[in-house]
Chain A
Amino acid sequence: GESVGLHLPTLSVQEGDNSIINCAYSNSASDYFIWYKQESGKGPQFIIDIRSNMDKRQGQRVTVLLNKTVKHLSLQIAATQPGDSAVYFCAESSSGGYQKVTFGTGTKLQVIP
């Protein structure tokens, strides 16, 4: 079936550097994409989303880039902090009327102090 997957299972980044987490998706009908952050023992937390009519969206220290041509999504975190250490999931939806999302496999971000 359709799937969403991440390229790297673990990413180690020096504190203060920028982080880039990548995600590939296979469903060409996907029209809504979300990044979630999940800290140990907690539920996923919404970070940022982007719709398919956009190719870039910025939040506070985070930017999501969408390349529909190659079905690729990335999350950029500026000036990575120890509190950013978590597992990051991309998720996609093609439901149209309401959000039933499919999660990718997750990338663990480790921030080195």
Chain B
Amino acid sequence: DAMVIQNPRYQVTQFGKPVTLSCSQTLNHNVMYWYQQKSSQAPKLLFHYYDKDFNNEADTPDNFQSRRPNTSFCFLDIRSPGLGDAAMYLCATSRAGREQYFGPGTRLTVT
């Protein structure tokens, strides 16, 4: 089945230790998104790729970076995680102009 896959599902990292979350898709969608979702809150868009074009949200901290080496994969890099970065990180994809399909998310814990 075509889907959005996120690995790992649970990630524990230490304060200040870089961490990378990954997302892959078999939908061949040209747009990929990264959201941060904290408990009982709505998903907050961090950035998205439209094909190879990177679009950063104005309020996304510099601590968050992303890479999209090809259509299928997208990575979220957190350079120096702080306690406030503990959250669920959601990857989503869409074909331009259509609804977004979300992965199951990666729950990040910072110790």
Contact status A43-B105, CB under 8 Å = yes
Do the beta carbons of A43 and B42 come within 8 Å of each other? Answer: no
Chain B residue numbers with a CB within 8 Å of A105 are 41-42
Determine whether the beta carbon of A43 is less than 8 Å from that of B94: no
Enumerate chain A residues within 8 angstroms of B102, measured Cβ to Cβ.
Answer: 36, 43-45
Q: How large is the interface on B (under 10, 10 to 19, 20 to 34, 35 or more residues)?
A: 20 to 34
Give the A-B contact count at a CB cut-off of 8 A: 54
Q: Interface readout for B75-111 with A: 1 if CB under 8 Å, 0 if not? A: 0000000000000001010101111111111000000
Known pairs A42-B105, A43-B105, A99-B94; A34 contacts B42 (CB<8 A): no
The reply to whether B90 and A99 form a contact with Cβ atoms under 8 Å apart is no
Query: Interface residues, chain A, CB within 8 Å of chain B?
Result: 34, 36, 41-46, 49, 89, 97-106
Chain B residues within 8 Å of A, Cβ to Cβ = 4, 31, 40-45, 48, 50, 55, 90, 92, 94, 96-105
